[in-house]
Amino acid sequence: MSQPTSQSTATAISPDSGEHWSAPGAWTVADGVHRIPLPLPMDGLKAVNIYVLEGSDGLSLIDGGWAITEGRSALEAGLKKLGFGFGDIRRFLVTHVHRDHYTLASVLGEEFGADVLLGSGDRPTLELTNGDLDGWVSTDRLLAYAGAHDLAAKWAANPPPAPDLSHWRMPSQWLEGDVRLSVAGRDVDAVHTPGHTQGHYVYADLAGSVLFAGDHVLPTITPSIGFEPVPVVDPLGDFMASLTKVRSLPDLRLLPAHGPVATSSHARVDELLAHHESRLAQSLASLQAGRRSALEVANDLGWTRHERAFAELDYFNAGLAVMETKAHLELLVARGLATREETETSVLFAPVAAVSA
């Protein structure tokens, strides 16, 4: 939601294509590795990058895309340019369960017998989608808990359509912890990186010096935090710990799910960590006014790379902003810098100094 860089996702050129990063095609990013952007209609991100790894036994894909006609057609066209088709896909290594990464992998895996791998931390989301929908913590409830009652009403008035369960089948294999996989004739380290979702994984090809980063490390924006149907206590703390974990890997070429290819995973991780430390400091400063909700703190912060006022955001992005702010406040509590108080309608935060006084 917030953007810790002056570079714009909307205008970024990717060095592998020499064109805007979302331009359709099949762009070679490394020996035997190609990037195919799939369109995301009605989404500010414009596209999702799918990475195709060629192997002697067929193709392995990092992520699958969104199960919509436009995405399927673009993936088919990209594979055709490389001389392949859907039947050549042997496995999908999915970074996380969000629809623009998982659902087309689920559909094509079923149709063509390809394996689908997903982090086990995303299992509760899939189980809720496929079964006990009453256990789903709706976005409007999350927003109301963060003090954004008017926003919650707007989200409740615009509920998402019921899920097509054929898009949300269980994967062939759940990934647990960090594991080395043999993929397309190379060793790939599947590294668990919870934060954006609890089951998020990045895939590191150390010999090839590339990092398939999913939504964990994005070159022009930072991913949404705190927006999961099964809430966790400290999602931002998880995310920053995962960033530090990825920083401990060698410096790799960054192959993100959204945005252009970049040269250094270390440089971008450092920017993201610095950005969130700055946001934490700003959030703590906002609390000096006393006990406040995440909504009230969000109103004190600037949003997007243009530092827009909170009031300028549409209801969807305002909701993302509130939940991101709440994640920062929860991390301040975990660090012992703030306290939280649950009321009948929401949760309020205050700086420790103000409470002890």
- pTM of the complete model: 0.94
Q: How far apart are CA 104 and CA 135, in angstroms?
A: 25
CA-nearest of 345, 347, 353, 352 to 325 is 347
Could you tell me if 208 and 223 are in contact, meaning their C-beta atoms sit under 8 angstroms apart? no
Distance CA 330, CA 326 (A): 6
What tens-digit pLDDT sequence spans the chain (357 residues)?
555 554 666 678 999 999 999 999 999 999 999 999 999 987 678 999 999 999 999 999 999 999 999 999 999 999 999 999 999 999 999 999 999 999 999 999 999 999 999 999 999 999 988 886 555 667 888 899 999 999 999 988 988 788 899 999 999 999 999 999 999 999 999 999 999 999 999 999 999 999 999 999 999 999 999 888 888 889 999 999 999 999 999 999 999 999 999 999 999 999 999 999 999 999 999 999 999 999 999 999 999 878 899 999 999 899 999 999 999 999 999 999 999 999 988 999 999 975 444
Element (H, E) at 52: strand 47-55
The structure tokens listed for 109 are 């895996």
Is the separation of the CB atoms in 348 and 28 below 8 Å? no
CA distance 356 to 354: 6
User: Other CB atoms closer than 10 Å to residue 161's CB: what's the count?
Assistant: 5
Task: Return d(Cα 266, Cα 271) in angstroms, integer.
Answer: 9
Amino acid at 209: S
Q: Are 296 and 147 in contact (CB under 8 A)?
A: yes
Residue 321 makes CB contacts below 8 A (sequence gap 6+) with 1, 2, 298, 301, 303, 310, 313
